[in-house]
Every structure is written in structure tokens, then in C-alpha cells.
Chains A and B, each alone.
Chain A
């Protein structure tokens, strides 16, 4: 497939390390490769501790100290954000690259009305006058379907419910029409009906502007309906990368299957794909990180770490014995 357009995000061989006191350093991310094209919706699914939040921060150029990028790079629209100086990076964040996070109510400034906070993002990035950015912010509030937008413009974060605060966060993220929107578990903690509305809203608004989106989440079900490609992350590595439809038809990596098995009501079938590591058993250095929990492990897995290799249909799997290769 020819790449006529430059990818909006290109992560190559990214390693992020956190030094540990008198112990081996912890690799939060180990050689991540991920590419997102313009206008593409990609999902990144992992459990807690998988490194997905670190990845989100690294993309923005914000690895929290004492962590640091040890190797590799992140190119946003062709530029490495972590190598830009502070002012240049600030010009990009919020303008071309924006993030929507979970529970934004705690992150919004408690003493500034929400309408003004949305307006601020436009004011400091687009060089328009305050009256214009306020108008733009009000339009955004209407676009995110917040009830009674004129009144809510002057509301404070603590006056809003969780769902409304999330809409405000989306308005802030989208007001400058960014090229890439990252959702970091943006809908966790929301009621189910509100989550459905918020996701629909995100999909519609991001799609309308032709922007790309990275949905980082614990809930694999979200990616099934909103992403065209899906990546599974485990212990700092991407273990599977595939087109959504093909993935859900037949996941290849045993961990991916284990994630899906969590939705099954059959404990027997679930047990079939779960291996409880014996007491004290951890991944061997040089071997596959998932091996202790893998039901398909062989001797080769313990000594040789698999690489992310291509399978049929453009799918990439980090496994010596992915499931697909078994089917006749």
C-alpha cells in the first residue's frame, strides 16, 4: 500500500524507562511501533499497568519524571515533540494535538467558568479576539449538545455532572480542530447511556473535521465500534495490531483472546485460555513477557522473545504460535 500522505503520528522503537531505587529499571514501554494515518481511528487496548497511559503521555511529550524516553522517537506530523523547545511544543498541544481524559472535572480549573476555559484554548492558539473566541466556545458547547449552553457557559466545573464535564473537555479538545485527538480512557466512570452519547459525539465531530483519533481504553468493546484498526498492549509491548473486523473475527494473540474471553459467561471456556503462573514464576529475561500466563507456550517462548511480525492480511502479532496459523 503506497503511503501517499504522511502519517499524522509515527512512533518508532519507543522505549520509556523508570529508574528504580536499587533495583533494575522498569521499562514502561519496550520498543513501541505504531503508525496512525490522517483521519484514521485507531484503538489501543490494555489493562492497568500495560503502559497505555505512559504511551499517551509520551506522545504529548510529557513523560512524567523520573521516567524518560530511553530510545526511539515519536513523530507528530513529522516533528519530534520532545525535541522542540517549550514554546514550540506549547504551540502544537491543544492546537494540532489534543487529549481528552477521564474524569475531567477534577482537572478543569475550579475557579474559572467552563466557557471561558474553552475560549482560552482558542484565544491563546488562534490569535483571535476574546469576543470571537467566546463566541466560538459557545458554538462548541452547542455542538457537544450540552443542555442550556448559554447558561452553562458561565458555570463552574463543580456545577456540572460527570457527563457534562466530559462534554466540556471534548469541546476544549476540538475547538482548534486538531489533526489528532487522543482519548485516554475518556469514558470510564461515565454512565452507560452517557458513554454511548459521548462516544457517538466524539466519532461524529472528529470525523467531520477529518481528524484522526487514538482511543486508549481498557474496554475492548469500545474499539469494536469506533476504530478501524486495533492494537493490543501488554507489559509495555504491542502484541497484536490488526484491522478491527478481522481482529474480532479471529484474534491471533493468546492475550487478545484472553481479553475477549472476559466477556464470556462460560467459566470453563475462560479457564481454557487462562494460565495461572505458579508461585513466583515471572517472565524470563530474553523470553516472551506473556509466557507465564500463556496457555499456548512452548519451550521456545521462554528463551526467545517474539518480535512483532506480519501475518496474512496485514495483521502483526508478537507471538511464536499465534492462533491464526493453526486454522486449516
Chain B
């Protein structure tokens, strides 16, 4: 029954993707800027511009362009970026691991900060921890991530000299490890390359800290709210009535609060894939978000669309995983 559910969900991905691509395609075509002009420069003649447009297929009717795009996409060909002059697929495959590494570790940091604070704030209805969590919640929502990134760089790099320079994922002098997962840190660990490990880890610290601190806010808030509700829920009182030890009751309450927290984490994850772009830029991370933004600024359609498709697929996978986690956590959602 479970397999049938998963198969059904994967099948649904197809029409969902189609819809996403269609809407994105139309929206992207609305981006101002004539790519032919961008590519050839403002002094190009009208003739060469027209020729280029023809060649790139921009003079054909919209639906034809779309059909052509879909046809190619099904084969994994998302066109080329005129900026990098390489196939988009190649560009994305190179850049997505960087974004994923950053976002995944950043989210883990956010969970590590936000979740325990949320649980503690819910348990202790007053006191310093509770107050601190309250202020954190307020502040975290207001901090722009790029600003925090710059502050951290200033403090830890410029002033204290503790951290690595904010230039990419690894020291330029250090050779990156063999690509297994795409994450430099993990790959270095697997391969056992200590030099690469310490370098890539050092470069990861500040951006992850940035994302972690900022995104811990919503996680903390959601955790605190659901935990508070779980603590006053009936089954917690019932468990207390039977004299179950405090830690057991706490565990049960956490278990009950988990689904909501998992939801917000998944939403954050989906958001951060594109939403971490400012942090990517500040740290010259070379991630996919950065790539897509460049595409928008240059009216370079293919990278933008390619990025949308990739992140859409990723988001859909994440949501499927989250729903499966739900099934595991809450039996009421089954059948």
C-alpha cells in the first residue's frame, strides 16, 4: 500500500512539473531585456540581431518555443547559457551540489539552534531561557541574511582573523577531493583527505552559521508553539496521571510536536534552495542560486528555466519525503 502511494506521488510529479515549467516559461519570457542585444552588444546591427534571434529561435511563436523546450528537456537538454557558453545541465550539475551542501548544513545548524531552544522555552514558561528565546524570535525574523553574513565576515575574518576568507568553498591552493556526493566536506571525509577537509570545512563555517542563525528563528517559533500545545494536550496530562516519569512524558510530547516542526523545516528547505542566493553571493559560493540570478540579470533564459526545473524537482522530492516521515510519525494519517 505504501509503495502504491509512493508510485502515485511520483506519477503526480509529471503534471506538476509540466505546470511549473509552463508558468515559469511564460514568466521568464516577460523578463525585460533582449538577449540578442545583450549578447552582441548595443552597437550590433539590426541584421545581425535578427539573424541571432532567428538562430536562437526567439522569432518563432511562443508555443513552438515551448514545445521545443519541453522536447529537449525530456532528454535532459536544457539548452545552453550564452553567458557561460556551456550547456545549462552541465552548469547546474556543477553548481547544485554547492548550494545543496550550503543549504543542508545551514538548515542542520538552524535546527540545532532552534529546536532545543524551542523545546526549552516551551518547558520553562519563565526564566532567562524563555526570555532569550522570545528576543531571538523577534530579532531573527528581522535580520537580513546578507547583512549578518557581512557582519560575521567582518568580525571573524577581518578583525579576528579566525575564519577563512569568504572566497568560495575551498582554498584556491588546495585541490578538491574526488567528487562522490558533491559535498566537499563529506567527500573529503570519505576519501580521508585531511587538508581538503579542514579547508572546505573552514570555508563552510561562516555561511552555515549565517544561514543557521537566521533560519533558526522560524524553527524555534514553530517548535515552541507546538511543544507548548503538546504539553497542555490531554494525552500529556493523562500520562502524568499515570505517574509516567518526566523524561518519558517529554519524549511523548516531542514526538507529538514533531510533525509540525518537520513541515516547517521542509518549507524552509524548499525556500532556501533559491533563497540562499544572497549568502551565496557574499561568500562567492558558486552555487546554483547565484547562477540563476545572473541569468535573470542577463536575460539569459535557459539557466533560469533550468534552475526552476531542478529546484522544483528537488522540492517535490523533499515534500514526498516529508509526507513519508509524517506517515511514520503519525498513524492517524495512514489509510
A23 smallest CB distance to B (angstroms):
26
Q: Are B244 and A111 in contact (CB under 8 A)?
A: no
Q: Are B332 and A60 in contact (CB under 8 A)?
A: no
Q: Are B243 and A99 in contact (CB under 8 A)?
A: no
**Stretch touching chain B among A38-46, A83-91, A129-137, A253-261:** A83-91
Q: Are A156 and B332 in contact (CB under 8 A)?
A: yes
Cα distance, A112 to B235, chains bound together (Å): 11
B124 within 8 A of A: no
B125 smallest CB distance to A (angstroms):
11
Contacting residues of chain B (257-280) with chain A, CB-CB under 8 angstroms:
none
Picked from A98, A101, A110, A121, the residue with its CB within 8 Å of the CB of B244 is A121
B10 smallest CB distance to A (angstroms):
27
B9 smallest CB distance to A (angstroms):
22
Main secondary structure of the interface of B (DSSP, over half): helix
B246 within 8 A of A: yes
> Which chain A residues lie closer than 8 Å to B243 at the CB level?
89-95, 124-125
B60 within 8 A of A: no
Cα distance, A94 to B256, chains bound together (Å): 22
B245 within 8 A of A: yes
Q: Are A94 and B332 in contact (CB under 8 A)?
A: no
**Chain B window 239-261, contacts with chain A (Cβ cutoff 8 Å), 1 for yes, 0 for no:** 11111111010001001100000
B41 within 8 A of A: no
Known contacts: A107-B235, A108-B235. The answer to whether A90 contacts B332 by CB under 8 A is no
Cα distance, A111 to B240, chains bound together (Å): 17
> Which chain B residues lie closer than 8 Å to A120 at the CB level?
242, 244, 248
Q: Are B245 and A158 in contact (CB under 8 A)?
A: no
Q: Are A111 and B242 in contact (CB under 8 A)?
A: no
Picked from A98, A107, A124, A125, the residue with its CB within 8 Å of the CB of B234 is A107
Taking CB as reference atom, which chain A residue is nearest B238? A107
A79 smallest CB distance to B (angstroms):
14
Picked from A62, A90, A104, the residue with its CB within 8 Å of the CB of B245 is A90
A146 smallest CB distance to B (angstroms):
19
Contacting residues of chain A (261-276) with chain B, CB-CB under 8 angstroms:
none
Cα distance, A111 to B332, chains bound together (Å): 7
Cα distance, A101 to B242, chains bound together (Å): 12
Cα distance, A156 to B333, chains bound together (Å): 12
Cα distance, A108 to B244, chains bound together (Å): 13
Cα distance, A303 to B235, chains bound together (Å): 46
Contacting residues of chain B (87-133) with chain A, CB-CB under 8 angstroms:
none
A181 within 8 A of B: no
Taking CB as reference atom, which chain A residue is nearest B248? A124
A228 within 8 A of B: no
Range, interface on chain B: 20 to 34
> Which chain A residues lie closer than 8 Å to B248 at the CB level?
120, 124
Cα distance, A94 to B332, chains bound together (Å): 27
Picked from B245, B246, B330, the residue with its CB within 8 Å of the CB of A111 is B330
B331 within 8 A of A: yes
> Which chain A residues lie closer than 8 Å to B235 at the CB level?
107-110
Q: Are A110 and B330 in contact (CB under 8 A)?
A: yes
Q: Are A86 and B332 in contact (CB under 8 A)?
A: no
Contacting residues of chain B (313-335) with chain A, CB-CB under 8 angstroms:
329-332
Taking CB as reference atom, which chain A residue is nearest B256? A111
Q: Are B242 and A93 in contact (CB under 8 A)?
A: yes
Contacting residues of chain A (211-262) with chain B, CB-CB under 8 angstroms:
none
Cα distance, A156 to B244, chains bound together (Å): 19
> Which chain B residues lie closer than 8 Å to A112 at the CB level?
252
Cα distance, A107 to B252, chains bound together (Å): 13
Q: Are A86 and B242 in contact (CB under 8 A)?
A: no
Cα distance, A124 to B237, chains bound together (Å): 16
A25 within 8 A of B: no
B124 smallest CB distance to A (angstroms):
15
> Which chain B residues lie closer than 8 Å to A125 at the CB level?
243
Taking CB as reference atom, which chain B residue is nearest A64? B237
Cα distance, A206 to B19, chains bound together (Å): 64
Which residues of B are at the interface with A, using a C-beta cutoff of 8 A?
A: 234-235, 237-246, 248, 252, 255-256, 329-332
7 nearest CB pairs, A to B: A94-B242, A93-B243, A94-B243, A107-B238, A90-B243, A109-B235, A107-B234
Which residues of A are at the interface with B, using a C-beta cutoff of 8 A?
A: 60, 62, 86-87, 89-95, 98-99, 101, 104, 106-112, 120-121, 124-125, 156, 158, 172
Please, could you name 8 A-B residue pairs with CB atoms under 8 Å apart, sorted by A? A60-B241, A92-B243, A106-B234, A111-B330, A121-B242, A125-B243, A158-B332, A172-B242
Known: A106-B234, A110-B330. 18 other contacts (CB 8 A): A62-B240, A87-B245, A90-B244, A93-B240, A98-B242, A104-B238, A108-B235, A109-B238, A110-B235, A110-B256, A111-B329, A111-B331, A111-B332, A120-B244, A121-B244, A124-B244, A125-B243, A158-B332
